Amino acid sequence: MSRDVALTARLKYILKRLRSFDVGRVWSFATQIAKEQDKWAPRIFVDMLVWAAFHDTAYIDYYEADFALLTKAERKTFMTSLVQHHVAQALNDRTDVLQFENKLTFNRRFSEYLGRDWIDLDEVDADGFRAFAEKNPVFIAKTPVGREGKGVFRYDAAEVTDWNAFRDELRDKGQRLIEQRIVQHPYLAEYCEGTVNTTRVATFFDGEKVHVLMAAQKFGRGAVSDQFTWGGFFTMIDESGKSFGPGHTGKHKSRYETHPDSGRSIVDFEVPMWDQVVDLVTRAAQEVPTVPYVGWDVAVTPDGPVLIEGNWTPGLYETRVSATGIRTGSRARHRPVIEASRK
């Protein structure tokens, strides 16, 4: 049994899973895995239950990390949703995480790292909104609280005829945060020009040193966001900023050695200005010491990297053996934050 999650947290998790247990959903996962991996569904079904109960592995983790193709020892090298959630809950202050959950609050707290102008529609009138749009003809509107790229929209000022009515419409929709559109580094634009392709970097600040635990490069398909909900995919990034395998979505059987639209190589990808990216998140990670475990979304511009947002539950990004051939996960790199959560 894994010891990376406290016994009380594991028991709470098991009870929660039992209360919400849906045999049909688990069987659906098992049959899908069996079909994709040429396995026997009943055996997969039982294995999923065992790993959920005794090895901190949610059904979606089992599927996305291709556990059906891995040995027991290989599986234990992967992070899982429960381990990550437990670590975040154990280390991150429940009040101070609000500085990350609300994008308006985040922008105010981390203003020096944003590299772009923004306004709160509750703090400007229609004339102020129009003045902002005149300087930023294409701009981004966001709901202050949202996940997975939901609540992010792109607008063109040329299409607006009544700024009073448009401001009221966006406020009614909850789209209070208006931001200057980011112009990404030319190298990233070669992959997908229509989407800002961001880098997710998870860090842990132990009070003295910032540990980079994981990095993944996300690629869009032309939509306003590079998240999976908008058709995006990702590849894992090593300590030097280079891809170490083909990209994949994690949500279904997929493999991208090249970007499906531009044809640019995913396996040869390198994050531009990687040293500056690491420096940026290292500085940002020390801003709120009471929230030491964060997943940062970074956009690299021609002038350097900027912060998009910080996620106090960093999000689970792992390699997938069916796409990459890599059979080792990132749990070893997460060891500093896991050890800290036990104290």
What is the β-pairing status of strands 138-142 and 152-156?
antiparallel
* 41 Cβ contact partners less than 8 Å away, ≥ 6 residues apart: 27, 30, 31, 33, 34
pLDDT digits (tens, 9 = 90+) for 315-331: 999 999 999 999 999 99
Given 180, 204, 228, which residue is the final one in a domain? 180
Is 267 within the bounds of a domain?
A: yes
Stretches where the chain sits below pLDDT 50 are: 1
Instruction: Tell me the two tokens of residue 179.
Output: 């931001």
Asked if the structure places residue 200 within a domain, the reply is yes
Q: Looking at residue 1, what is its pLDDT?
A: 47
Give the pLDDT confidence score for residue 27 in this predicted structure: 93
What radius of gyration, in Å, describes the C-alpha atoms of the chain? 21
Residues 282 and 270 in one domain: yes
Whether residue 256 sits in one domain with residue 191: yes
CB 234 within 8 A of CB 219: yes
With vertex at residue 154, the alpha carbon angle to CA 150 and CA 157, rounded to the nearest 5 degrees, is 150
- Among the candidates 127, 149, 180, a domain finishes at 180
* CB-CB contact of 340 with 83 (8 Å): no
Looking at the fold, whether 197 and 293 belong to one and the same domain comes out as yes
Residue 35 DSSP label: H
**Are residues 251 and 269 both part of a single domain?**
yes
On whether both 122 and 151 belong to a single domain, the answer is yes
Same structural domain, 203 and 172:
no
pLDDT of 5 reads 66
Strand partners, 220: none
pTM, whole model, 2 decimals? 0.92
180, 214, 229 - which closes a domain: 180
Residues 211 and 257 in one domain: yes
Q: What CATH number corresponds to the domain at position 275? A: 3.30.470.20
Residue 322 corresponds to which tokens in the numbers above?
């069916």
Same domain, yes or no: 282 and 295: yes
E-strand spans in the chain? 118-120, 138-142, 152-156, 177-180, 199-205, 210-219, 233-237, 293-301, 304-311
Q: Tell me how crowded residue 335 is: count the other CB atoms within 10 A of its CB.
A: 14
- Per the prediction, the chain carries an average pLDDT of 93
Question: Does residue 215 lie in a domain region?
Answer: yes
3-state secondary structure 76-136: CCCCCHHHHHHHHHHHCCCCCCHHHHCHHHHHHHCHHHCCCCEEECCCCCHHHHHHHHHHC
DSSP tag of 182: P
Q: Is the CB of residue 226 less than 8 Å from the CB of residue 197?
A: yes
Q: What does the pLDDT read at residue 43?
A: 97
Asked if residue 59 lies in contact with residue 82, where contact means CB atoms within 8 angstroms, the answer is no
Q: Are residues 204 and 305 in the same domain?
A: yes
Would 78 be classed as within a structural domain? no
Which token pair is 121? 């529609």
Minimal CA–CA distance to 218: which of 186, 254, 179, 192?
192
Task: Give the domain CATH number at 135.
Answer: 3.30.1490
Residue with tokens 């919400």: 20
Segments forming the whole domain that contains residue 216: 96-100+184-311
Domain assignment present for 283: yes
**Contact indicator for 176, 193 with CB cutoff of 8 Å:** no
Tell me, yes or no, whether 201 and 285 share the same domain.
yes
Residue 277 burial (C-beta neighbours within 10 Å; 0-12, 13-18, 19+): buried
Q: Are residues 230 and 267 both part of a single domain?
A: yes
User: Residue 220 falls within a domain, yes or no?
Assistant: yes
In terms of residues, how long is the chain? 343
**Any residues with CB less than 8 A from the CB of 184 and at least 6 apart, and which?**
196, 197, 299, 300, 301
Residue 151 lies in a domain: yes
CA quadruple 253, 256, 260, 264: dihedral, nearest 10: 170
Residue 42 maps to a domain: no
Strands ordered across the beta sheet of 210-219 = 233-237, 210-219, 199-205, 293-301, 304-311
Counting the structural domains of the chain, the total is: 2
Based on the fold, state whether residues 215 and 303 are members of the same structural domain. Answer: yes
Predicted local distance difference test score (pLDDT) of residue 220: 95
Q: Strand 293-301 to strand 199-205: parallel, antiparallel, or no bridges (unpaired)?
A: antiparallel
